[in-house]
Every structure is written in structure tokens, then in C-alpha cells.
Chain A
Amino acid sequence: MSEEKKREGEKKKEEKLSRFIVSAPPHLRGPEDVSRIMLLVILALLPVTVEAVAMFGIFAVQTILLCIISSVVTEAVIQKIRGLPITIDDYSAVLTGLLLALCLPPKVPFWIPIIGGIVAIGLGKQVFGGLGFNIFNPALVGRAFLLMSWANHLTGDWYKTVRVDAVSGATPLFVAKQLRAGLVNVDLSQFYKPLLLANPYGSMGEVSALLITLGGLFLIVMGIIDWKIPAGYIGTTFLLSWLLGGDPIFYILAGGMLFGAFYMATDYVTTPITGKGRLFFGIGCGLVTVLIRFYSNFPEAVTYSILFMNACTPLIDIYIKPKKFGAVVK
């Protein structure tokens, strides 16, 4: 009896001990976590996604869903093979899939988004070790791969099959390129309104510059993305296009410029960590974009400019460090 009591007493003592968790400070944690951040970015992308679906219908739905499913499945399969915890519930793969879909045209063969998702997550992210370790923006890796492999499916005349009122096969940027070459004579300002509100040419993420900007501002206000990257990117593009004799407003609205500036160039993992470094990153993106748009054979440049600056990120982080508090010469 007494022994039983003793044991009970010990048990109680143990229970009392294990009531307390001991860990290092701080003992309070902020409201932010990774999945919440990813969900907020997805939320910011919803208006654009909805407009794309409204404009292109079932084709858009198919492409978006296939991209997301392919990305998420690839992530889960690779993590399973590597014996790691499966972290698809952090929504980062969902976001990659959605971003990839939005930089594809609405109607592509069904295997394009599937391969895109596999490459984006597999080659863009998981080979480096997963979330936090990749050097290049996964969605852009997927897009660049598809663009180089099946350019005809990404830039071809897919739109003729979905839009009866499509009269020209040229995206606004292609028109601008022809204008610079002196092949056509058009006023680029006629594109302002469609580019802002409902642009049928190009990728799904280019349907409305207005919705993209609103989503981007939402993320800035919520403290999810740093304003310095889009500001540097857009500002530089505006200034350089203008200096080089282009129509600066057109060059900002057209193509994947705004989509890239707000959603791709602001990817945490692949961009510098300091405020100054981010501004520098944005300026670099703008510089490369304008150079490619004006002096190369490609009409569009956002993908490659961001990937190029992704490669420069470690270098920027080494050279740009914040000034320490009290770091004065004694």
C-alpha cells in the first residue's frame, strides 16, 4: 500500500515536472508563419487568376490546375523518395504551380503544364534541397525550360483558337519591337487600356496590369513583400525605356513586367536579404529587362532578367551588409 502511494507520488512529481516546457527566449512568437505568407501571396494572385479564367474559360482552368497538381505531386514524391517530411502543407508548391501557370498562355497541350511543374519543383527547387535552398526562382526555371524547349506552344498562335476577335498574332511587345525596327507605324498608347484592364495577348498573368498592381500593393501593405524590389525594377525600367526613346508607360504595362516585379522578383529565397541589396536587385532586373527588350532578338525579357539577378543574389548579399548599430570609427 505504502509503496503504491510512493509510486503514485513519484508519478505526480513527474507530471508536475513535465508541465513546463523549457526553451530559449523569446517565449512569444509573431503571427507570421511560412504557410500564412504563401496563402497571402496566393490570395493576392486570385483576382488575376479569376480574370484569366473569365477571359479564357476552361483552357485556363485546365492549365492552372495541371500546373498546381504537377508541382505539388512532384514535391511530395521527391520528399518521399528522400525520406524527408512531406511539407506540401506549407503551400509553397501550390504557389509555385500557380505562378508557373500564370506565366503560361491559357491554351497549351496538357503535358506542357505537367512537365513545367515537374521541372519547376524538381530542377528548380528540390535538387537544391527544397524550400530555402534554391538559387533560382522555381516557377521561372519551369517557364524558361518550357520556353526553350517548346517555344511554339508558348508563343505560337494559340489565341486564334480561343478568341474569335483576335486579328493579329502579335503581342504588344512584339509590335513595339517591330516599331523600333521601323517595320510598322503604330501609336503604343492605344495598348494602355487593354493592358491595364483586359489583355488577351501573352500569358495569363498579363491579363490585367491593374489587378496585378493591386495584388502587389496588397502584399506590400501586409508586409509580405519589400517595396524596394518592385520600386527598383519598375522605376529602372521606366527611366531607361524613356531615356532610350521608348514609351515608358507602355514598357511597364506590357509583358510580364509588373507580374515579374511584384510576384517573381520578390521571391524571398532567391533575392537578397537586406533592404539595400533588394533595391539593387530590383535595379539590376530593370536594367537587364530593358537591355534585352531593346537590344536583343527577344521581345520579352522578364524571365531571363530575374533569373540572371537570382544568380547575382549571393554576391549582392556578400557585398551589401547593413551598417551595424554604433559601427563608428572610435
Chain B
Amino acid sequence: MIALKKDHMELLLKWRKQARVKDAMLTEVNHSLEKQFEWYNSIRNDPSKKYWLITFEEKPIGVINLSEIDQVNNKCSAGFLIGEESFSSLGAIVLPALYNYIFKKRGFLKVYGSVVSSNKTILKIHEIHGYRQIGYYEKHILKNNEYIDIILVELMAENWLSKKKFASYEAEWD
């Protein structure tokens, strides 16, 4: 995984504006490239966030990230998007490499997050990876003029590390 750079913003913006990506995300992006550069400047030196470009044989296919990195309590959130639609099946494959990085290399205790309730695919992927649903916020976000529910999830280190079938999924992290 290559650390996200300013040069990647145009591609990332194109991916974020795709309907299938918008539907899956908590936030919608409709802004300009200038605004995208502003976003990049806001995250690049933020110690609570880390973004990487996902590449497959050097072809950029998506973005994966950590956010809300809390080195005191050893927890973080994680996210990803596969921008190149023909690689969208790899969504559930790239996450195990990230979890091995989080739990083995960084030594974190948990990953936690929020999922749009209509995103059944990622909820199922989370289930396969060992997440548990801990609750939900009802009508928590206004999206497309409709209030939507948010499911709260977490994955504990001991649960992930007990899943031997994903132990070999590794990646290099810039």
C-alpha cells in the first residue's frame, strides 16, 4: 500500500463521485478538485488519520485508511473503497491485510466503526471478519433527503487473531 499523495486526489475524487461508492459511504462527496486538495492538506499531517492507495500490480484500484487513531487507548476506525469497479470483488480481501497490520504490527486492541444500515454487503463482510454489532443510531444521518440508521460495529484483537484463515493476508504499508 502506498501512502496517499496529492497526485492521487483527482483519481480519488473520481472514485468518490461514483454512485455505487456514494451509496455505501456515510458522507457524500460532490465537491471540486480544489476542495479535494484542501481535504488532503487537512489529513496529511493529522496523526489520527492514515490513508494508503491500494494498488494491484502497480495499478491504483482503491483507497484504504485508518482514522480516529488513538494511541492512548489503542483503538482506531478503518475504511476502504475500491474505486475500480472491475476489482470490486477484492473488497473483502484487502481488509484482512489491514487488520493484520492494525493488530499485529500496531498492537491495537480494537477497530470500531459505523456502517450505513442499507450497506448489507459491508455488514456481511464485517460478520465474516468477526465484527460484532453493538447497536445502532436511528435516523442518524440525512442522506438524499432521507434520515438513515447507522449500525455501530467493533472488531476486537483477540477475535481477529483467533481467525487463522486470515493470518496469511499481508501487505506492505508505506
Q: Do A and B come from one complex?
A: no
- B residues near A (Cβ < 8 Å) are none
- A residues near B (Cβ < 8 Å) are none
